Amino acid sequence: MRQWQSPIREAGLLPGMIVDVTCQVPVAGLEPFRSMPTDPPPLKPGEPRRLYTCPEHPDLVGTQPGRCTRDGNDLEARPLADAQRIRWWCPMHPAVTADHPGERCQECAG
Protein backbone atom coordinates (compact mmCIF):
# COMPACT_ATOMS: atom_id res chain seq x y z
CA MET A 1 0.00 0.00 0.00
CA ARG A 2 1.40 3.39 -0.92
CA GLN A 3 1.85 6.06 1.66
CA TRP A 4 0.08 9.29 0.94
CA GLN A 5 2.32 12.37 1.15
CA SER A 6 -0.11 14.79 2.69
CA PRO A 7 0.46 18.48 3.46
CA ILE A 8 0.21 17.49 7.13
CA ARG A 9 3.11 15.07 6.76
CA GLU A 10 5.09 17.59 4.74
CA ALA A 11 4.70 20.04 7.64
CA GLY A 12 6.53 17.59 9.87
CA LEU A 13 3.50 16.24 11.70
CA LEU A 14 3.30 12.51 12.33
CA PRO A 15 0.40 10.22 13.28
CA GLY A 16 0.00 10.10 17.04
CA MET A 17 1.22 13.66 17.65
CA ILE A 18 -0.99 15.79 19.87
CA VAL A 19 -1.76 19.18 18.33
CA ASP A 20 -4.29 21.97 18.72
CA VAL A 21 -6.15 22.53 15.46
CA THR A 22 -8.47 25.30 14.36
CA CYS A 23 -10.30 24.52 11.11
CA GLN A 24 -10.94 27.70 9.16
CA VAL A 25 -12.45 25.78 6.26
CA PRO A 26 -14.59 22.66 6.59
CA VAL A 27 -12.33 19.67 5.97
CA ALA A 28 -15.02 18.17 3.75
CA GLY A 29 -14.37 21.06 1.31
CA LEU A 30 -10.67 20.22 0.92
CA GLU A 31 -9.07 17.66 -1.34
CA PRO A 32 -8.93 14.72 -1.24
CA PHE A 33 -12.00 14.67 1.00
CA ARG A 34 -14.04 16.87 -1.38
CA SER A 35 -13.66 14.29 -4.16
CA MET A 36 -14.49 11.32 -2.00
CA PRO A 37 -17.93 9.82 -2.50
CA THR A 38 -20.37 10.39 0.32
CA ASP A 39 -21.95 6.99 -0.14
CA PRO A 40 -19.60 4.02 0.07
CA PRO A 41 -19.39 1.88 -3.05
CA PRO A 42 -20.96 -1.57 -2.78
CA LEU A 43 -18.75 -4.19 -1.20
CA LYS A 44 -17.16 -6.62 -3.63
CA PRO A 45 -16.84 -10.28 -2.67
CA GLY A 46 -13.61 -10.83 -0.81
CA GLU A 47 -12.97 -7.12 -0.29
CA PRO A 48 -10.84 -6.55 2.85
CA ARG A 49 -12.87 -5.56 5.90
CA ARG A 50 -9.98 -4.92 8.24
CA LEU A 51 -6.58 -3.28 8.26
CA TYR A 52 -3.51 -4.33 10.19
CA THR A 53 -1.54 -1.63 11.96
CA CYS A 54 1.41 -1.36 14.33
CA PRO A 55 0.41 0.07 17.72
CA GLU A 56 3.61 2.16 17.70
CA HIS A 57 3.47 3.19 14.02
CA PRO A 58 -0.16 3.73 13.03
CA ASP A 59 0.96 5.25 9.72
CA LEU A 60 2.12 1.79 8.60
CA VAL A 61 -0.89 -0.18 7.48
CA GLY A 62 -1.34 -3.42 5.64
CA THR A 63 -4.13 -5.63 4.44
CA GLN A 64 -2.54 -8.81 5.80
CA PRO A 65 -1.38 -9.86 9.26
CA GLY A 66 2.35 -9.59 9.76
CA ARG A 67 5.04 -7.65 11.53
CA CYS A 68 5.91 -3.96 11.54
CA THR A 69 8.84 -3.26 9.23
CA ARG A 70 10.24 -0.69 11.69
CA ASP A 71 10.20 -2.50 15.03
CA GLY A 72 9.00 -6.04 14.36
CA ASN A 73 5.84 -5.68 16.45
CA ASP A 74 2.91 -7.90 15.51
CA LEU A 75 0.41 -5.90 13.48
CA GLU A 76 -2.98 -5.55 15.16
CA ALA A 77 -6.23 -6.09 13.27
CA ARG A 78 -8.44 -3.02 12.98
CA PRO A 79 -11.95 -3.69 11.67
CA LEU A 80 -13.37 -1.20 9.20
CA ALA A 81 -16.65 0.60 9.82
CA ASP A 82 -19.57 -0.25 7.54
CA ALA A 83 -18.94 2.82 5.37
CA GLN A 84 -15.17 2.39 5.18
CA ARG A 85 -13.42 0.89 2.14
CA ILE A 86 -9.77 0.28 1.40
CA ARG A 87 -8.53 2.12 -1.69
CA TRP A 88 -5.12 2.81 -3.18
CA TRP A 89 -4.44 6.15 -4.81
CA CYS A 90 -1.69 7.93 -6.65
CA PRO A 91 0.21 10.23 -4.28
CA MET A 92 0.42 12.80 -7.06
CA HIS A 93 -3.20 12.48 -8.19
CA PRO A 94 -5.49 11.72 -5.21
CA ALA A 95 -8.52 11.52 -7.49
CA VAL A 96 -6.98 8.48 -9.21
CA THR A 97 -7.90 5.46 -7.11
CA ALA A 98 -7.99 1.70 -7.40
CA ASP A 99 -9.72 -0.95 -5.33
CA HIS A 100 -6.65 -3.20 -5.46
CA PRO A 101 -2.88 -2.64 -5.32
CA GLY A 102 -0.64 -2.64 -8.40
CA GLU A 103 -2.68 -0.34 -10.64
CA ARG A 104 -0.82 2.25 -12.76
CA CYS A 105 -1.89 5.90 -12.70
CA GLN A 106 -3.00 7.04 -16.16
CA GLU A 107 -2.00 10.63 -15.34
CA CYS A 108 1.66 10.08 -14.45
CA ALA A 109 2.26 6.39 -15.15
CA GLY A 110 3.33 6.06 -11.54
Instruction: By CB under 5 A, name the binding residues for Zn ion.
Output: 54, 56-57, 68, 70-71, 73, 90, 92-93, 105, 107-108, 110
By beta-carbon proximity to Zn ion, the closer residue of 40 and 55 is 55
Q: How far is the CB of 43 from Zn ion (least distance, A)?
A: 26
Q: Which of 21, 1, 4 is nearest to 91 (CA)?
A: 4
By beta-carbon proximity to Zn ion, the closer residue of 2 and 44 is 2
Q: How far is the CB of 17 from Zn ion (least distance, A)?
A: 16
Q: How far is the CB of 56 from Zn ion (least distance, A)?
A: 4
Task: Give 104's Cβ-side CA count (13 Å radius).
Answer: 3
Query: What's 69-94 look like in SS3?
Result: CCCCCECEEEECCCCCCCCEECCCCC
By beta-carbon proximity to Zn ion, the closer residue of 43 and 95 is 95
Tell me the one-letter amino acid at 62: G
Q: How far is the CB of 85 from Zn ion (least distance, A)?
A: 20
Contacting residues for 79 by C-beta, under 8 A, at least 6 apart: 49, 50
